[in-house]
Amino acid sequence: MRHGQTYGNVAGALDTALPGLELTDLGQAQARAAARALADRGVEQVVVSTRVRTHQTAAPTAQVQELSPVELPGIHEIGAGDFEMASDEASVRGYLSTVRSWVTGDLGVRMPGGETGHEFLDRYDADVERATTGGHDTVLLVSHGAAIRTWVASRVTDAAGRPEAVQPLHNTSLVTVEGHPRTGWRLLDWHAEPVGGAFLEDESAPDPTGEPTSDAR
């Protein structure tokens, strides 16, 4: 699940560094609604990144499920590097064009001032494996828009060919996959709108890391 709306999303800023901006009031409402929507999903473990927005998003679900979230260091957002906290069109397109290169298989491209696609997938894969090999049948990872899209496109069978996979990933959207790190993953559902209800969407927010990579030029 992607985190709830942050002040960085509203500003259209590429906010990827530690600790990251907090949730807005709408983001908090999205998190509470997500907890209600996920109440009967049988979540056995909740995993968050090192960014504060994932902790705030996960908290209501963890409370409902009576779980303590587990923080893992590798599922944070794709670092913006030289574009960090920028919101101008050129910077956003530079960020998205790099992510698009990775999604289309050119993993050697480096984000200016940041990581390559190989480096991103190495860290993300490692923590997906940690999260999903601990004996839990259903794990909720609360992560980030560009990171989720890139990992799913790179690691999930037929994800890139699914028409919904080119849609935006709005705040508290939910992508459901099934499988195992050693045998592979398949896409079960791509719910691009807030899992707690489409009425929680803020279409006025620029939110660059939630946009599809097809928007890159």
Rounded-to-10 torsion of CA 198, 199, 204, 206: -40
Q: What is the CA radius of gyration of the chain?
A: 16
Q: Is the pLDDT of residue 64 over 80?
A: yes
Architecture of domain 7-210: 3-Layer(aba) Sandwich (3.40)
pTM over 0.85? The answer is: yes
Q: Provide the mean pLDDT of the chain.
A: 93
Which tens digit of pLDDT belongs to each residue from 79-103?
999 999 999 999 999 999 999 999 9
Give the active site residues: 3, 77
Do the Cβ atoms of 147 and 105 come closer than 8 Å?
no
The amino acid sitting at 184 is: G
> Per the structure block, which two tokens stand in for 70?
């587990």
Structural domain boundaries in the chain: 7-210
- Alpha-carbon gap, residue 217 to 214, rounded angstroms: 8
